[in-house]
Structure 1
Amino acid sequence: MSRMTMFLCLLLVVCVPLAAEHHEKEAASVYGGTLAMNFEYVSGQLVQLADAMPEATYGWRPSDEVRTTSEVIMHVVGTNMMMPVMVGAAPAEGFEMPENPFALAKELEANVTSKADVKAKLQESIAYAKGALTDFPEEELDKEVDMFGMKMRKRDALLIMLSHSHEHLGQLIAYARSNGVKPPWSQPMPEAPPEQ
């Protein structure tokens, strides 16, 4: 075997695994990045709606057995802060995961009620959760976790967090419209498509 052939073989042995590792790292961010992008979109709408709703609507609820506007938003905040930790992400600075996450959620809902405080907590939770989603290691995503008494993959638990935000955005849209507040991004449909 010539020196050149030997050199090329050695180069392949070294470079192929490095290229594969680089490709793996590139792919590692795809799922978390996609979740983070979708999470950022729905969270942006939550923030816009929280801004649009007057302070007086934060204590409003459509009936006694459901959450107030502030409680719905703080429920989302609690999920944003706890779900990533429950699947293995590092907690936000200063956040300590309680033994009973439901107790913390209830505490947040009861104690953070002013529009300014609710909005601040919402934005803080969004920044944390988006970072946790983006940084979540690909090799961890298919590991099982026990979530709310069910076994599921970590990727599924993170998807639940995203769908949870969508669920409560829908709830808040109904609350807003019930109080005469139009979602800021909502525009009437045009009568006809624009002319080309």
Structure 2
Amino acid sequence: MKRLSLLAIVLLAFAFPGNAQDSIKKHPAVKPADPELKVVLDSWNDIGRKLTEMAEDFPEDKYDFKPTPAQRSFAEQLLHAAGSTYYFTNPAMGLKPPAAEDPKRDQYKTKADIVAFVKKSFADGAAAIQSKGDKGLLTEVVYLPDQKARVLDIAYGLIEHSGEHYGQLVVYYRLAGLVPPESRPKK
């Protein structure tokens, strides 16, 4: 038993050279977690950036591409993802959610119209998040006619929803023979 203890001490000495003071000096202090406001805002802006980049990048002549007739077109996917952000933004700002689920394609005829709408929808959401501050993210708002939810929970739900549509749009890129912006080599 003494041999096993001695062996363990020797192994530990080799595994951790120097003394504990040297080890502490070499490693900086652990950075504290970011405030919730920064975390949710960064996530919101990141998915908004990805969808905006796709909207700007995808060829306009392929905007009405559908993998199957029953699915939304590329443009309709973007309009749906961007329009759904107002199910967060409106309640967070004390307004009613949108009456219609999706903006109609005939309202946004060109690629430029859709790009502008995607940018605006995520910018409006980011402004709503910032206006709430850390404490305001925990306030409850009427989310659906008969349901309350915390602002933070609605924001994360819409971030996830937008991420799901981002994933679908990646497939649209691949089916159209294109490489999505996030999958391209970085310069």
| Larger relative contact order, structure 1 or 2 (CA cutoff 8 Å, min sep 6) | 1
1:100–1:125 CA distance, 2 compared to 1 (3 A): closer
Give the TM-score normalised by structure 2.
0.70
1:166–1:45 CA distance, 2 compared to 1 (3 A): same
The range that moved more, 167-176 or 31-40, is 31-40
Aligned partners of 1:128, 1:101: CA distance in 2, in Å?
14
Percent identical: 26
1:71–1:154 CA distance, 2 compared to 1 (3 A): same
- Give 1:83's aligned residue: 88
Q: Which runs of 5+ in 1 are unaligned?
A: 1-28, 91-96, 189-196
- Give 2:155's aligned residue: 158
Q: Does the 8 Å CA contact 2:91/2:97 hold for their aligned counterparts?
A: no
- 1:131-162 deviation digits (Å, cap 9, x = unpaired): 22122133333333343454422211111121
Query: Of the two, which has the highest radius of gyration?
Result: 2
Match of 1:125 among 111, 121, 125: 121
Q: Does 1:101 align with 2:98?
A: yes
Aligned partners of 1:46, 1:70: CA distance in 2, in Å?
11
- Give 1:175's aligned residue: 172
Aligned partners of 1:86, 1:109: CA distance in 2, in Å?
24
Name the SS for the 1:76 alignment partner.
helix
Deviation at 1:110, TM superposition (A): 4.3
RMSD: 2.4
Match of 1:67 among 59, 64, 72: 72
- Give 1:94's aligned residue: none
Aligned partners of 2:121, 2:103: CA distance in 1, in Å?
16
Q: Which runs of 5+ in 2 are unaligned?
A: 1-33
- 1:93-118 deviation digits (Å, cap 9, x = unpaired): xxxx6x67242x43444421421110
Q: Does the 8 Å CA contact 1:74/1:118 hold for their aligned counterparts?
A: yes
Aligned partners of 1:124, 1:143: CA distance in 2, in Å?
24
Aligned partners of 1:100, 1:55: CA distance in 2, in Å?
30
Aligned partners of 1:50, 1:127: CA distance in 2, in Å?
15
Aligned partners of 1:132, 1:151: CA distance in 2, in Å?
17
